[in-house]
Amino acid sequence: MRTAADSTRARAAVLVLLVVVGLVAVAAVDLPDVATARGWVDAAGPWGWTGMVTGVALVLLAPVPRSAVSVLVGVLAGFPAGVAVALAGGLLGGLAAFGLSRGLGRPAVARFAGRGLARVDRLMAERGFWALLLGRLLPVVPFVALSYGAGLTAVRLTPTRSPRRSG
């Protein structure tokens, strides 16, 4: 009979495994030169651009510098298209990290953190948007860590509406 603790451990193990696989893939993959990669994207048409956005999102799930990925995309695609690909890939990567962390990591953190998480959850429910915005603007906090960390808290994916004040 499976217990809640077994399920929590299994989810946490899957999250750790996914992060480790991502790290190994980043370290082991041999990258093509720019001309070859441009040829692939051009030959694939719209699917090439979709693949590039998806690839950026997947790379950004691993702890790699986002600025380096953005520069590489800019070299490959050119400035305007590179900005669009980097932004779309960054958004998808952040959402995926948040979702993975929320679905696989939060139960483990809730089990081990106990009341400490309840205090953080209260703060993040009230001021989560501003905390995440500040974290994004500070160059000290890696985006991937912020996305995974946000998924471990009670911060909502969508903003909450504040009640209208009469007066």
Q: What does each C-alpha distance from 154 to 1, 73, 90, 123, 151 come to in angstroms?
A: 29, 33, 22, 9, 7
Residue 158 lies in a domain: no
Predicted confidence (pLDDT) per residue in 74-105, tens digit: 998 889 999 999 999 999 998 999 888 888 88
Quick one: pLDDT band at residue 33, thresholds 50, 70, 90? confident
Map residue 119 onto helix, strand or coil: helix
Number of domains present in the structure of the chain: 1
Question: Is residue 153 within 8 Å of residue 124, measured between CB atoms?
Answer: yes
Instruction: Phi first, then psi: give them for residue 61, nearest 5 degrees.
Output: -75, -20
Residue 157 lies in a domain: no
Map residue 149 onto helix, strand or coil: helix
Residue 160 lies in a domain: no
Domain encompassing residue 121: 4-152
Residue 66 lies in a domain: yes
Helices 4-28, 106-113: inter-axial angle, 10-degree rounding: 120
Asked if the model's pLDDT at residue 40 lies above 80, the reply is: yes
Residue 78 lies in a domain: yes
Average pLDDT over residues 32-46: 85
Asked if the model's pLDDT at residue 52 lies above 70, the reply is: yes
DSSP annotation of 62? S
pTM score of the predicted model:
0.70
Asked if the model's pLDDT at residue 24 lies above 90, the reply is: no
Predicted confidence (pLDDT) per residue in 127-167, tens digit: 777 778 887 788 777 888 888 888 888 787 776 665 555 54
Higher pLDDT, 107 or 46: 46
